[in-house]
Amino acid sequence: MKITNATKKVKSVSSTGENTNPIPTLSDIYSDGLEVGDYRLFGRVTNSNRRGFLRGAGLGAMSALIGTAIPFHRFMPAGMIPVALAETMMTLPDKDGLTVLNDRPINAETPPHLLDDPITPNNRHFVRNNGIPPANTDASSWMLKIDGLVDNPMELSIDELKSKFKVYTKALLIECGGNGRAFFNPPAKGNQWTYGAVACSEWTGVRLKDVLKAAKVKSNAVYTAHYGTDTHLSGKEGKLPISRGIPIHKANDDSILIAFAQNGNPISPLNGAPLRLVVPGWPGSCSQKWLARIQIRDQVHDGPKMTGKAYRVPNRPVEAGEKVATKDFEIIERMPVKSLITSPQSGAKSGQSIEVRGHAWSGDRKVKAVHISSDFGATWQKAKLQAPANKGAWQNFQAEVKFPQSGYYEIWSRATDSAGERQPHAISWNPKGYLNNTLFRVAVRVA
């Protein structure tokens, strides 16, 4: 079998965008197909439906990477790599316990039990990237441009943002619009998020509305347009991976920050260092990372991931699997009411009672109640619900659940918001798998 491009140099991109060696990403290794990837990784030529033989330099390199010999290497199927190596390749710097869904671009979610903190630590904040993070994230030289329909265009350094505008610290929730996509049937394309594409850290920065006021936004302004410095996966110069925006009325929300710190520390490079937008309650894609420019426009922004079906849902209920015309999609704005049980972890063993903890949130609204059921929804008890730390934060809840006897139980949580909307047992299917807010469930076995 002839292998083309088998010796093509493969580079890995770190969280800062720099090339690192010697371990490339799995996507890089297999970017030219199974056989080529196998050759790069193992130094062998195999057929995809036959077992291959790891030998020579490939075997030596693989053993060195794992740290020990591989006694049964000759039985390893083509296209399969050691789990230990996969785990090494799929570990993110400065992150703890996240489940990596994709390595190009990097996307990783946080298991619910690791979101138990009232404020999400930096190392447990989920990662949703659309392109390759920039190589240069030096805060001292970073500039933010405000232009478009403004009478006073500005270019501001981070130090100038701090000195010219009042600085705020707020607990703000960010959630990917596709959180829960893995549970749609038929499956929807995209990263198969389960529950963990959500977080609520304390962000420090200046209010977007204050900066726009200083720029003197013109009366015919309709929408903002956000631009970061991450690059498209294709590597084509000038091609953006994502550029979204929000209506001007939303841009004047007090809770939206141009943030330069997370939990009192520098923002993680994977989460947009050194400057990003935080737009709580709306899809996380509005919260542009590596923020370098905000343009004011007289129309709905039409940047990448802003048109077509991206971050849009049908304007009516549709049948599962139905093909929907692009013209019948509308932009997602506020996120729906949701709850998340963070303790106990699903599958936990318990005595006759257990403490249940979690968080609840609902777009721009407050949550007014969370109810818990341990009998598959036959009865519900009201949980103790805390007020949000501030507008834009999630709310913590707690309840004590007692079990009548040993056996298998499910603990369900259901949030109701200030407008009376509550989590459903099931939601309407949509082609992109957005806005799944079905009630949350964990399994418990009582001894």
**CA distances, 166 to each of 15, 151, 184 (Å):** 30, 21, 43
User: Cα–Cα distance between 307 and 297 in angstroms, integer?
Assistant: 15
Q: Both 312 and 408 in a single domain?
A: no
Q: Both 320 and 356 in a single domain?
A: no
User: Cα–Cα distance between 110 and 97 in angstroms, integer?
Assistant: 7
The pLDDT tens digits for 288-347 are: 999 999 999 999 999 999 999 999 999 999 999 999 999 999 999 999 999 999 999 999
Pick the more confident residue, 65 or 134.
Answer: 134
User: Cα–Cα distance between 314 and 381 in angstroms, integer?
Assistant: 35
% of the chain at pLDDT higher than 90: 76
- Residue 286 is part of which domain span? 122-331
Q: Both 288 and 180 in a single domain?
A: yes
**For 386-390, which contacts have Cβ atoms below 8 Å and span 24 or more sequence positions?**
388/171, 389/118, 389/119, 389/170, 389/171, 390/170, 390/171, 390/255
pLDDT at site 383:
98
> Among the three residues 315, 331, 347, which one is the final residue of a domain in this structure?
331
Q: Which domain CATH number covers 161?
A: 3.90.420.10
Least reliable range by pLDDT among 38-47, 362-371, 426-435: 38-47
pTM of the model: 0.83
> Among the three residues 331, 349, 366, which one is the final residue of a domain in this structure?
331
With respect to residue 194, please indicate whether it lies within any of the assigned structural domains. Answer: yes
B/e letters for 287-326, b = 16+ CB within 10 Å, e = fewer, are bbbbbbbbbbbeeebebbebeebbbbbbeeebeeeeebee
Tokens of 348: 């936990």
The pLDDT tens digits for 384-426 are: 999 999 999 999 999 999 999 999 999 999 999 999 999 999 9
Q: Both 325 and 373 in a single domain?
A: no
The pLDDT of residue 116 is above 60:
yes
Instruction: Give phi and psi for 215, each to the nearest 5.
Output: -80, -10
With respect to residue 101, please indicate whether it lies within any of the assigned structural domains. Answer: no
The pLDDT of residue 26 is above 80:
no
Q: Both 303 and 342 in a single domain?
A: no
Q: Both 158 and 248 in a single domain?
A: yes
The pLDDT of residue 34 is above 60:
no
Plot region of 292 (φ>0 → left; ψ -120 to 50 → alpha; else → beta): alpha
pLDDT at site 348:
95
> Among the three residues 302, 331, 360, which one is the final residue of a domain in this structure?
331
Q: Both 268 and 325 in a single domain?
A: yes
pLDDT at site 70:
72
With respect to residue 408, please indicate whether it lies within any of the assigned structural domains. Answer: yes
With respect to residue 102, please indicate whether it lies within any of the assigned structural domains. Answer: no
pLDDT at site 50:
42
Q: Both 323 and 174 in a single domain?
A: yes
How many independent structural domains does the chain possess?
3
Confidence band of 9 (pLDDT split at 50, 70, 90): very low
Q: Both 79 and 17 in a single domain?
A: yes
Q: Which domain CATH number covers 414?
A: 2.60.40.650
The pLDDT of residue 53 is above 80:
no
The pLDDT of residue 78 is above 80:
no
With respect to residue 97, please indicate whether it lies within any of the assigned structural domains. Answer: no
Q: Both 421 and 436 in a single domain?
A: yes
Mean pLDDT of 179-187: 94
Q: Both 371 and 305 in a single domain?
A: no
pLDDT at site 83:
65
Instruction: Give phi and psi for 52, each to the nearest 5.
Output: -110, -175
With respect to residue 83, please indicate whether it lies within any of the assigned structural domains. Answer: yes
The pLDDT tens digits for 248-265 are: 999 999 999 999 999 999
With respect to residue 27, please indicate whether it lies within any of the assigned structural domains. Answer: yes
With respect to residue 373, please indicate whether it lies within any of the assigned structural domains. Answer: yes
Q: Both 279 and 316 in a single domain?
A: yes
Least reliable range by pLDDT among 91-95, 136-140, 223-227, 428-432: 91-95
